[in-house]
Amino acid sequence: MKAKHQRLILVIAALLAIIGAGLIAAWTLRNQANYFYLPEQMAAAPPSVGQAVRLGGMVRNGSIKTEADGVTVNFMVTGNTDDAIPVRYTGILPDLFIEGSGVVAEGSLGPNGVFMATNLLAKHDENYVPRELEGMGTDQAAKMAADTTIGLQ
Amino acid sequence: MIAEIGLAALWLAAALAVLQMVSGGFALRTSDGEAMNPLAIYARPAAVVQAVLAVLAFAMLLWAFAVTDLSLKLVASNSHSMKPMIYKITGTWGNHEGSMLLWVGVLALSGGLLAAFERRLPERTMGATLAVQGFVALGFYAFLLLSSNPFERLPIPATEGVGLNPLLQDIGLAIHPPTLYAGYVGLSVAFSLAMGALLTREVNPAFARVMRPWVLGAWVLLTFGITAGSYWAYYELGWGGWWFWDPVENASLMPWLAATALMHSVAVLAARDALRTWTIMLGVLAFSMSMLGTFLVRSGVLTSVHAFAVDPERGAFILGLLGLYIGGAFTIFALRAGAVSEGTRFSFSSREGALVFNNVMLSAILAIVLLGTLYPLVTEAFDVRVSVGPPYFNPAAAIFAVPMFMVMAVGPLLRWKEDKPARIQFEMLLIAAVLVAVIALVSFFGQFPLLPLLGLGLAAALAVAAMLPLRGRKLTRVPVATWGMVLAHFGVAVSLFGMACEGAFTQERLAAVAPGGTEQVGDFAVTLQSVSPVAGPNWTAIEARIAVSRNGAEPVILNPQARSFWSPSQATSESALLTRWDGQMYVVIGNQAEDGRWQLRVWWKPFVTFIWYGGLLIALGGVLAIAGRVRVDVKRRAAVKLGAARRADLDALNPASVPAE
């Protein structure tokens, strides 16, 4: 094998591996990227059961119910329509998780239509706003989500 | 006054960077055999003096933070007079300007060290290297001085500082960013050397031997910095995780992956004179990744693409620098790579072959991490918000990591240049047997997810394989650098074992507990004795008193806290850890429920500490490799000196002797 051929094979192998990595990345990203939903979007076109997504909106007043075990909470997340998504979360609540505040729930939709949250992102301090609710731009959905953070201030 | 000295030093350093760049550039105009261009002699002193000035500027800022000089804008907005001294000092680099100054300080310092002590390279290559180093430094001086001046004064001094983010008020901040930055910047020297060698067509083993300690050093610092950062996030954030695939973490992982590949490829170049172009490309790639990391962390682009627009000047400035350096480097690479003559050939089944395979696998993992990190930024520009997390990174990276670990197990057993796999069939069978046996044994005892299961098998196989290169050798005669390799590879096995155990065997308990109540987690009985308020220098907290008893033994008291800082106002959760040789107990206290019970979250994480022990072993292996190389180098220099002296003696004894035939 000539030196030039060896270099060529090396380059081709490296390129193949990188392109392979790119394809795998693109394919997995399509399946695993965690999309952000507003309650009305989730009501209109729900993600498939078990798919990891994020749900962002406002905690409806009077909807937080703690179960008997003391660590599981159920609450409703609303947007700017009447649609509300029930959310169930087991864990330690963020410090400033209160009714009427903005929240982003990470998790997936269960078969019974309840959003099973694995993680809740809420305000940590006066400067912190969940990333998804920050400076969302001009379109209407974005405006709504920004409104939910006004309740935080 | 202090601040003005710092600012003046910074401007002077920038001017010297120009001198270093121009003077180094003149070295390129010297042709072979000719005396050095007279204008080229200023590059080395310029680099040294510049290092002194940049370090001085950083020292001035340290001083301003230590005495809390509130007339400085940076101090007023990031420090507080009532903070403990250690956090006043570490707070110097806990903000944008300060950390960029640290970056530049380390950059100048490493350039200065290179200029002062490196005498092995041809002067032309050295000149070109210093010119590139000066060019890189100049960009960052411009960034500091024009858009983020750390020494800016306030028109009216503030009466009190705003304070430092409580999450950063931790000893972790003292260790993690400086080591990581030193690692990033060490790669800048590797980059400059690679560019210098490429420009002067000096890509050869001698050049690789000059480059190697810088790559190894940067890699050791990165390894240590990532390990420290992972442990810091683990105990500070209170989420019980040790790696979140957070973009900031990825920003440090990507240069590490590139540096790992570069370190192995530079070793091949030094030992075997193969992989010339590949090494240069990895040198460019590694520093590009450090720059990208700096850009991601420092431009605000991570919080939001839109936040990037909030401070467009800074973000655009770093993006411009990034484009200039990476674009420039790849252009030079594309123009000159063809001129680098081919190195020595090797067959695929050889140690070089295995190293090349793993280099490619590392690059592929790097591509996976890079795409996953940038994807949310790209989609956000089109107003689609996604987040990419472990469900993407873990399987996608594992596709390349698993074959990499397998090749890593056998690679060091192969001979250079050409080898028959049949020669090491006993070793290969042994490694495969360990892998299969462990996986079979573990799956016999329970159902575990695929990745941790594979991890356990690979960890055992790698631990055995790491020791095999020592087989049949006299241990006292094994070179120090080889011990370094053995130790680092064993460290990978240890770390992998910790990760897999954490993934497979962690036990978690989340409950609302009334004072006096007991919960069982694994072998441990966790009793909440009491909850009481406590206060610290700049925070108040509620503190739980928790008795943890293993199998009914004498209980140990743990005190997790939920802290509220008042400047800036923020709540943090201070986890309490109980470390045993076979794992760690991790306790977090949450809110109080309406009925008076307290939320407790308790994890028992078997062997989780091995993750960081492994990281430390890997770094230590790197240190040994450097020590071994330096020792050999010193010995060689001494031998050359001795030989020269003997020859001089002989010549003096018989001046008229005829040279031996």
Cβ contacts of A14 on chain B, cutoff 8 Å: 360, 363
Distances (CA, A) of B533 to B494, B574, B588: 40, 14, 16
**Does residue B71 sit in helix, strand or coil?**
coil
Cβ contacts of A35 on chain B, cutoff 8 Å: 384-386
User: So what's the pLDDT on residue B243?
Assistant: 87
Q: Tell me the average pLDDT across B488-504.
A: 94
Would you place residue B631 in the very low, low, confident or very high pLDDT band (cuts 50, 70, 90)? confident
Distances (CA, A) of B107 to B100, B195, B319: 10, 16, 19
CA distance B420 to B347: 10
User: So what's the pLDDT on residue B311?
Assistant: 65
The bridge status of strand A72-78 relative to strand A84-90 is antiparallel
Answer whether A37 touches B (CB < 8 Å).
Answer: no
For all residues of chain A together, what is the average pLDDT?
73
CA distance A58 to B301: 26
Chain B nearest-CA residue for A3: B345
Q: Contact B361/A17, CB-based, under 8 Å?
A: yes
User: So what's the pLDDT on residue A67?
Assistant: 83
Q: Contact A32/B568, CB-based, under 8 Å?
A: no
Give Rg (Cα) of chain A. Answer: 21
Chain A nearest-CA residue for B401: A21
CA distance B569 to B352: 56
CA distance B59 to B56: 5
- ∠ CA A141-A143-A146, nearest 5°, is 110
Helix axis angle for B123-147 and B2-27, nearest 10°, is 150
CA distance B400 to B406: 10
User: So what's the pLDDT on residue B567?
Assistant: 66
Q: Contact A36/B278, CB-based, under 8 Å?
A: no
In this predicted structure, which of A57-71, B41-55, B519-533 has the lowest mean pLDDT? Answer: A57-71
Answer whether B569 touches A (CB < 8 Å).
Answer: yes
Chain B nearest-CA residue for A72: B511
Answer whether B361 touches A (CB < 8 Å).
Answer: yes
**Does residue B578 sit in helix, strand or coil?**
strand
Would you place residue B421 in the very low, low, confident or very high pLDDT band (cuts 50, 70, 90)? confident
Would you place residue A124 in the very low, low, confident or very high pLDDT band (cuts 50, 70, 90)? very low
Answer whether B537 touches A (CB < 8 Å).
Answer: no
For all residues of chain B together, what is the average pLDDT?
86
User: So what's the pLDDT on residue B71?
Assistant: 85
What's the DSSP call for residue B39? Answer: G
Q: What is the pLDDT of residues A75-95, one digit of tens each?
A: 988 877 778 889 999 888 776
Look at B457 and B157; give whichever has higher pLDDT.
B457
DSSP assignment of B143-165, as one string? HHHHH--TTPBPSS--SS-----
CB A94 within 8 A of CB A102: no
Q: Contact B363/A70, CB-based, under 8 Å?
A: no
Q: Contact B386/A6, CB-based, under 8 Å?
A: no
Q: Contact B400/A124, CB-based, under 8 Å?
A: no
Chain B nearest-CA residue for A95: B571
| pLDDT above 60 for A145 | no
Report residue B359 as tokens: 């280099």
DSSP assignment of chain A, as one string? --HHHHHHHHHHHHHHHHHHHHHHHHHHHHHH-EEEE-HHHHHHSPPPTT--EEEEEEEPTT--EE-TTSSEEEEEEE-SSS-EEEEEEESPPPTT--TT-EEEEEEEE-TTS-EEEEEEE---BSS---GGGSS--SSHHHHHHHHHHHTT-
User: So what's the pLDDT on residue A88?
Assistant: 92
Overall residue count recorded for chain A in this entry: 153
Q: Tell me the average pLDDT across A62-86.
A: 84
Percent of chain B residues topping a pLDDT of 70:
95
If residue B511 lies in a helix (H) or strand (E), which one and from where to where? strand B507-513
Query: B637: Cβ–Cβ under 8 A, 6 or more apart, which residues?
Result: none
CA distance B30 to B374: 43
Q: Tell me the average pLDDT across B155-176.
A: 76
Cβ contacts of B364 on chain A, cutoff 8 Å: 17-18, 20-21
Percent of chain A residues topping a pLDDT of 90:
3
Q: Contact A29/B367, CB-based, under 8 Å?
A: no
Cβ contacts of B509 on chain A, cutoff 8 Å: none
Q: Contact B356/A10, CB-based, under 8 Å?
A: yes
| pLDDT above 90 for B656 | no
Q: Tell me the average pLDDT across B508-536.
A: 88
Distance from CA of B46 to the nearest CA of A (A): 39
CA distance B314 to B459: 44
| pLDDT above 50 for A126 | no
Is the preceding omega at residue B568 within 30 degrees of 0, hence cis? yes
Answer whether B338 touches A (CB < 8 Å).
Answer: no
- List the beta bridge partners of residue B587: B576, B602
Cβ contacts of B399 on chain A, cutoff 8 Å: 24
B240: left (phi over 0), alpha (psi -120 to 50) or beta: left
Answer whether A45 touches B (CB < 8 Å).
Answer: no
* pTM greater than 0.90 (yes/no): no
User: So what's the pLDDT on residue B317?
Assistant: 82
Q: Tell me the average pLDDT across A50-79.
A: 84
User: So what's the pLDDT on residue B28?
Assistant: 80
If residue B618 lies in a helix (H) or strand (E), which one and from where to where? helix B610-653
Q: What is the pLDDT of residues B289-324, one digit of tens each?
A: 988 888 887 766 665 555 554 566 777 888 888 889
Cβ contacts of B597 on chain A, cutoff 8 Å: 70
CA distance B26 to B42: 10
